[in-house]
Amino acid sequence: KYADELTTSMNRAAEAAVPEAKTLLVGAVKKMSVEDAKGILLGGSDSATQYFRKTTETQIAGKFKPIVGKSMQKVKLAEKYDQFAGKGVSLGLVDQKDAKLDDYITRKAMDGLFLMMAEQEKAIRANPMQAAGTLAQKVFSAIKL
């Protein structure tokens, strides 16, 4: 039961944190140089995702971590995790970066965000006309009278 509660809380924390990334990602687009844009256009199947990760990862982590921390405070098991993981670090069984549940969940939420972005980017690059059509449909359906 406790493991299920922890898993549910971890997932909810990650989901709650994702919208915080939007402003930072939009800001990265606004600050993008011509050289950055060229690198994205000529780059690999996830070059835009890599650009966003490079330019926003630290700020996104800063936004995610308090949300994750607040969610994890509701689950007493998180404190136990930190205690046991700390002992695991001293025994060489747990990596230091995984010793705090908040840090672990924040990192995993960010990994999930960038993985989803990379998958979307690959789909767009594979069929850019369909992606453009879908975007146009969303725009025009939003402005229908």
Do 47 and 40 touch, CB atoms closer than 8 A? yes
pLDDT at 145: 43
SS3 per residue for the chain: CHHHHHHHHHHHHHHHHHHHHHHHHHHHHHCCCHHHHHHHHHCCCCHHHHHHHHHHHHHHHHHHHHHHHHHHHCCCHHHHHHHHHHHHHHCCCCCHHHCCHHHHHHHHHHHHHHHHHHHHHHHHHHCHHHHHHHHHHHHHHHCCC
Contacts of 35 (CB under 8 A, 6+ apart): none
pLDDT at 47: 93
- Supply angle C-alpha 32, 34, 58, rounded to 5: 25
Number of other residues whose CB lies within 10 A of the CB of residue 4: 8
Do 113 and 60 touch, CB atoms closer than 8 A? yes
With cut-offs at 50, 70 and 90, classify the pLDDT of residue 34.
very high
pLDDT of 48-107, one tens digit each? 999 999 999 999 999 988 988 887 777 776 777 888 888 888 888 888 888 888 888 888
Task: Say what the pTM is.
Answer: 0.77
pLDDT at 141: 57
pLDDT of 10-28, one tens digit each? 777 777 777 878 889 989 9
pLDDT for residue 138 is more than 70:
no
Any idea where the domains of the chain sit in the sequence?
2-142
